[in-house]
Amino acid sequence: MRIVIANWKMNLLSKDIEAFCAACVSGYKPKAGVEAGIAAPYIYLKDVKAKLGPCGVKLYAQNAHFEAKGAFTGEISMAQLKDIGCDGVLLGHSERRHIFGETNANLVKKVKAAREHGLMPVLCIGETLEERDGGKMFDVLREQLAVLKETGAGPLVVAYEPVWAIGTGRVATVEQIREVHAFVAEELARNGAAGTPIQYGGSVTPDNFAEIIQVPHVAGGLVGGAALVPEKFLKLIEQAQA
Ligand code: PEP
């Protein structure tokens, strides 16, 4: 299975979202074996759901708390995401890890909670440039994937996103992607998650995706900047479907 997800981050307003969803409704042509999704800001999730209607594009949140309910002011639970019709949730995006202090320990709880509530967890992993240059890349990725030893088996998507390639316009080379995706596939198998789809993310655009999607063990993309433009998002989906 391939899966292309637009990560809107903290972008777009109601009027943009209306136009984006209308473009999906008229332009998205589902094809077996390829899923498409939008990870929208919390406050727009219900709106996106309603505007997408039954067109087949799935709905993702960009994060969630691991507790089902309680005194956690400002947080959103997996139960609440499920309640409003979410299909999945991004977990451990590098911006959550590096700006908001997301930890692997919390991610164990979040992956479990997502599964308990029937949401597809998309576990994001990736090394910083410093870690790559310092020869620590594989250790970092191994540690991030070790979360899966504690979660046990279950539905999962992994997104490999080198931190230095996110939002920078500096996409990893095909050789770098090939090397890491092969490693991630092996680690997933070692952690009891063989066959998990592995997305690539980091400055993906319609200009580079057709080549990236052909790399072994690349099963789609997690896309920020380019996926703020509906025509580009739809083009990326078509490239995954080709
Ligand atoms: C992302 O949001 O996960 C991402 C990869 O962003 P961009 O495509 O803008 O690099």
CATH of the domain at 185: 3.20.20.70
Ligand 1 pocket test, pick from 91, 96, 177, 223 with the greatest ligand atom count within 8 Å of Cβ, gives: 223
User: pLDDT, tens digit, for every residue of 160-215?
Assistant: 999 999 989 888 999 999 999 999 999 999 999 999 999 999 999 999 999 999 99
Segment among 164-173, 217-226, 233-242 with least mean pLDDT: 164-173
Pairing outcome for strands 88-91 and 58-61: parallel
Q: Respond yes or no: is residue 161 known to be catalytic.
A: yes
Which of ligand 1's atoms lies nearest the C-alpha of 94?
3
Average pLDDT for 44-57: 98
Ligand 1 pocket test, pick from 3, 4, 5, 7 with the greatest ligand atom count within 8 Å of Cβ, gives: 7
In this prediction, what percent of the chain has a pLDDT beyond 90?
97
Residue span of the structural domain in which 23 resides: 2-241
Q: Whose CA is nearest to atom 1 of ligand 1?
A: 224
Cα angle at 118 between 143 and 192, to 5 degrees? 35
Closest CA to 222 of 14, 30, 33, 35: 35
Q: How confident is the model at residue 77 (pLDDT cuts 50, 70, 90)?
A: very high
Q: Whose CA is nearest to atom 4 of ligand 1?
A: 224
Segment among 58-67, 71-80, 150-159, 166-175 with least mean pLDDT: 166-175
Average pLDDT for 141-169: 95
Total-model pTM: 0.97
213 pocket-lining for ligand 1 (C-beta < 6 Å): no
Which of ligand 1's atoms lies nearest the C-alpha of 201?
5
Which of ligand 1's atoms lies nearest the C-alpha of 90?
3
Lookup result for tokens 């992956």: 111
CB atoms within 10 A of CB 140: 17
* pLDDT for the residue 11: 98
Closest CA to 112 of 144, 142, 72, 153: 153
Cα(87) to ligand 1 centroid in Å equals: 20
Please, which residues have CB within 8 angstroms of residue 170's CB and are 6 or more apart in sequence? 164, 202, 203
Pairing outcome for strands 120-125 and 58-61: unpaired
DSSP, residue by residue, 9-43: TT---HHHHHHHHHHHHHH---BTTEEEEEE--GG
161 pocket-lining for ligand 1 (C-beta < 6 Å): yes
Cα(71) to ligand 1 centroid in Å equals: 32
* pLDDT for the residue 125: 98
Cα(7) to ligand 1 centroid in Å equals: 7
95 pocket-lining for ligand 1 (C-beta < 6 Å): no
What total number of domains does the chain contain?
1
